[in-house]
DNA sequence: CAACTTAGTGTTATTTTGACACTAACTAGG
DNA sequence: CCTAGTTAGTGTCAAAATAACACTAAGTTG
């Protein structure tokens, strides 16, 4: 490959971060999605036919920020949440992954070359829904929690990104006790089990699950019970942060 | 954040792919590294003080290619190897990860904005050293295998990238039977065990290792023995591709 | 107080793991 | 040709982890 060829083929791409922000509520796993307005363009470059679609929250990475920082900023702008479990899991870079007509307006806003492709670094985040305060992002776009099973068709390749995030989560949750990140501070073993079941998409044996969880020594039993439920109230537990931190690097051998 | 702010902060970055290409030979894990020439620049932008350093093979992603395609192209250009196990494992995007003085010449070759930062998508690849035919890359840079334990200081953040690749490999090899990708077609259980030991950096019990491997049903015993070794010759095995493919998605439950 | 709902608990059989030591087969060198 | 050196190959037992399985307890509602 010589320099001429390079001139042809290398237009710097845009780089964005997209976040798969997962929460858990009413025994359902949910994902935070935003509405995105865009207009198609006619051949004169004029906008027409305004449309709305739904997407994962994301934005361009700023020049002066680290990828992780960028992901945290975007999460903060959108949800106000700070300081939570977040992890980069994959870059997506199919040259056609952002359809130009769909994205023209957004790219113009950025004043960058609208011809360039967009490569995105995908992150996933786990949040406690109780902590979440809804907030429009810096472009005043509405955001909403969607149950995983009811996610509509998303912009670009965002359905695929979401799908892969869920795969990764499934894998991780069987190896690291990540489930806690999604639950309120005090929780019952039943809640924890239902969370695992909705992540793994499979039923677990109650007694085996409890034995396993207790053997990890991650649970601090509170001397407290559920209130106001129409059945036997469950004992509540807290999560033992100290033991968790010692596990960094894995439960697995 | 308004549009003016965006103008300031968003200069499109360069996006490159860096490959951690691992091979196994003489009971050692090795990584393929290239020599990189560069010149520092003085304040007038003139090159002086030509230097050489050692780096992971990598290059800019072309406009029209997928990230995976790009990684495969780079591997092919450098080694002639095609069609092997390769996997994206992480994007690195610290804004200062590519020092400008070190990289000025390379970026100029590309005719892109030398002010822009470089974000890289890192891949790792496993190759059978027996298949490898050394080859200079398109910039005629020399390449060489370095034993993992003797890797020198590398350009940019490449030591960190390598380190993380090894972590990922360590993890994967305990969950998926990837080891085979690194061995010749016919191999002995002793070779396989030594490979695992050098990846994991720990000794394994011979009898337990063999029991485990045999239980996976991935080995086809050939009715053939090692030739010309100064000790009891080992039985040779092949790897059962069919069973392996059925395991896609994991050995783990 | 009956019906309903979810919480909580223990045993057994099976599988998996980890620890451990000797004999077999070949070559090289005297 | 025999000895020394080297790696290959093999089995058992105890401990730990897993999977399958069913009943009673504690609360609320109507």
pLDDT digits (tens, 9 = 90+) for A242-253: 887 766 543 322
The residues, any chain, with a CB within 8 Å of residue A47's CB and separated by 6 or more, are A39, A40, A41, A104, A105
Can you give the residue ranges of every domain in chain B? Answer: 3-173, 180-246
Half-sphere exposure of B203 (CA within 13 A, CB side): 3
- Three state DSSP letters for A105-130: HHHHHCCCCCCCCEEEEEEEEECCHH
CB A183 under 7 Å to nucleic chain C: no
pLDDT for position B118: 92
Question: Distance (Å, rounded) from C-alpha A179 to C-alpha A251?
Answer: 14
Indicate the burial class of B96 (C-beta count within 10 angstroms; 0-12, 13-18, 19 or more). Answer: exposed
CB A133 under 7 Å to nucleic chain C: no
User: Which chain A residue is nearest to residue B87, measuring alpha carbons?
Assistant: A90
Q: Determine, for residues A12 and B7 on separate chains, whether the beta-carbon distance falls below 8 Å.
A: no
Residue A185 pLDDT level (bands cut at 50, 70, 90): very high
| Protein residue at shortest CA distance from C1' of C4 | A231
CA of B212 to C1' of C16 (A): 10
**Mean per-residue pLDDT of chain A:** 84
Q: Determine, for residues B13 and A91 on separate chains, whether the beta-carbon distance falls below 8 Å.
A: no
Q: Determine, for residues A13 and B111 on separate chains, whether the beta-carbon distance falls below 8 Å.
A: no
Residues in chain B: 253
Nucleotides in chain D with any atom closer than 7 Å to protein CB: 5-12, 17-22, 25-29
User: Which residues from B are below 8 Å from A when comparing CB atoms?
Assistant: 1, 3, 6-7, 9-15, 60-67, 70, 88, 90-95, 109-113, 116-117, 119, 121, 138, 171, 174, 250, 252-253
Instruction: Please give residues of chain A from 221 to 250 whose alpha-adjacent beta carbon (CB) lies under 7 Å from any atom of strand D.
Output: 225, 228-233
Q: Give domain A3-173's CATH number out of 3.40.800.10, 3.40.50.620, 2.40.30.10, 3.90.79.10.
A: 3.90.79.10
Indicate the SS3 state at residue A234: coil
Q: Determine, for residues A10 and B63 on separate chains, whether the beta-carbon distance falls below 8 Å.
A: yes
Closest by alpha carbon to B181, among B249, B234, B132? B132
Out of A81-95, A201-215, B49-63, B198-212, pick the least confident: B49-63
Indicate the SS3 state at residue A155: coil
Closest by alpha carbon to A161, among A76, A66, A94? A94
The residues, any chain, with a CB within 8 Å of residue A218's CB and separated by 6 or more, are A177, A180, A239, A240, A243, A244
Task: Express as a percent the part of chain A with pLDDT over 70.
Answer: 78
Out of A75-84, A104-113, A179-188, pick the least confident: A104-113
Q: Which residue has the higher pLDDT, A202 or A97?
A: A202
* Nucleotide in closest CA–C1' contact with A230: D28
Half-sphere exposure of A155 (CA within 13 A, CB side): 22
Residue B253 pLDDT level (bands cut at 50, 70, 90): very low
Q: Determine, for residues B10 and A94 on separate chains, whether the beta-carbon distance falls below 8 Å.
A: no
Name the architecture of domain B180-246: Orthogonal Bundle (1.10)
Task: Express as a percent the part of chain B with pLDDT over 70.
Answer: 78
**Residue B193 clears pLDDT 70, i.e. is over it:** yes
pLDDT for position B2: 43
> Tokens representing A233?
């109230």
The residues, any chain, with a CB within 8 Å of residue A116's CB and separated by 6 or more, are A11, A12, A13, A14, A107, B12, B63
Residues paired with A92 in a beta bridge: A120
pLDDT for position A130: 79
Question: Distance (Å, rounded) from C-alpha A220 to C-alpha B228?
Answer: 62
What is the model's pTM? 0.89
Question: Distance (Å, rounded) from C-alpha B126 to C-alpha A176?
Answer: 27
Indicate the SS3 state at residue B99: coil
Equal CATH topology for B3-173 and B180-246: no
Q: Determine, for residues B112 and A61 on separate chains, whether the beta-carbon distance falls below 8 Å.
A: no
pLDDT for position B75: 87
Indicate the SS3 state at residue B241: helix
When pLDDT is averaged across residues A79-98 and rounded to a whole number, the result is 89
pLDDT for position A252: 28
pLDDT for position A2: 44
**Mean per-residue pLDDT of chain B:** 84
Chains A, B: CB pairs < 8 Å: 109
Residue A26 pLDDT level (bands cut at 50, 70, 90): confident
> Tokens representing A244?
């968790």
Out of A134-138, B50-54, B188-192, pick the least confident: A134-138
Residue in A6, A66, A171 closest to B93 by CB:
A66
> Tokens representing A210?
């409890």
pLDDT for position B21: 95
> Tokens representing B39?
């010149």
Cβ atoms < 10 Å from Cβ of B145:
16
Per-residue model confidence as pLDDT tens digits over B164-185: 999 999 999 988 888 889 999 9
Question: φ and ψ at A232, to 5 degrees?
Answer: -55, 125
Per-residue model confidence as pLDDT tens digits over B78-132: 778 888 889 999 999 998 887 555 565 666 665 566 677 899 999 999 999 877 7
- What pairing do the DSSP bridges indicate for beta strands A235-239 and A219-225? antiparallel
Q: Which residue has the higher pLDDT, A140 or B239?
A: B239
- What pairing do the DSSP bridges indicate for beta strands A118-126 and A86-92? antiparallel
């Amino acid at each position: 490959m010589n320099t001429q060829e390079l001139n042809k083929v290398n237009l710097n791409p845009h780089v964005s971060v997209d976040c798969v922000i997962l929460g858990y509520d009413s025994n359902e796993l949910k994902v935070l999605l935003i509405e995105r307005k865009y207009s198609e363009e006619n051949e004169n470059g004029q906008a027409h036919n305004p449309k709305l679609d739904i997407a994962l929250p994301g934005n361009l990475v700023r020049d002066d920020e680290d990828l992780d920082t960028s992901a945290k900023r975007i999460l903060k702008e959108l949800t106000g949440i700070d300081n939570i479990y977040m992890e980069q899991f994959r870059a997506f870079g199919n040259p056609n992954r952002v359809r130009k007509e769909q994205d023209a307006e957004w790219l113009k806003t950025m004043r960058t070359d609208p011809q360039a492709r967009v490569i995105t670094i995908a992150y996933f985040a786990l949040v406690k829904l109780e902590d979440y305060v809804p907030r429009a992002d810096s472009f005043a776009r509405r955001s909403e929690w969607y149950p995983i099973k009811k996610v509509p068709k998303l912009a670009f390749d965002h359905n695929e990104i979401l799908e892969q995030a869920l795969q990764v989560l499934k894998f991780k949750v069987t190896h690291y006790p990540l489930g806690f990140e999604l639950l309120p501070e005090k929780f019952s073993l039943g809640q924890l089990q239902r969370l695992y079941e909705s992540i793994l998409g499979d039923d677990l044996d109650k007694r085996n699950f409890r034995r396993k969880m207790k053997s990890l020594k991650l649970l601090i039993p509170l001397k407290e019970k559920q209130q106001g439920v129409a059945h036997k109230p469950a004992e509540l537990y807290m999560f033992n942060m100290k033991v968790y931190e010692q596990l960094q690097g894995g439960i697995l051998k």
